[in-house]
Amino acid sequence: KEHQIKGKVLNNIGIIYDNKNQTDIALEYFMQASTHSKKAKDNENLSSLYSNMGIIYLKGKRYDLAEAIFIEALNIRKKEADIFGLCKSNYHLGRLYKEKKQFDKAQEYLLKSLTLCKQ
């Protein structure tokens, strides 16, 4: 229980730093949070953390890191059958591929997101 709470608290602190555009500090908190979330087996928070990290990587044009971590989040959400989370993960991957000008792949993920969000 302690690790689960720490994971959530550290995630929220990371979000605050991200909102203040202090992305390096935000990433540090997200990494700490992921350690606690893994220990607690809190996959919901872990997938959220990975999405938060991926968004920072995407904004920083660190596309390979963003793609890898977005896929991690997607895989967790598939395993958990988290429909709303899958909607978000597919959306993030669609945005990533749009940025990379891989428009067919972007469209594929964005359409998946749209379909899932309608459920």
**Residue 50 per-residue DSSP state:** H
The predicted structure's pLDDT at residue 11: 97
Q: How many domains does the chain have?
A: 1
Residue type, 42: D
* Closest among 68, 38, 41, 43 to 54, alpha carbons compared: 68
Q: pLDDT digits over 75-109, tens only?
A: 999 999 999 999 999 999 999 999 999 999 999 99
**pTM exceeding the 0.75 threshold for the entire prediction:** yes
What residue numbers bound the domain in which 86 lies?
Answer: 2-117
CATH number of the domain to which 35 belongs: 1.25.40.10
Alpha-carbon torsion (58, 24, 34, 42), positive or negative: negative
Digit-coded pLDDT (tens) for 9-58: 999 999 999 999 999 999 999 999 999 999 999 999 999 999 999 999 99
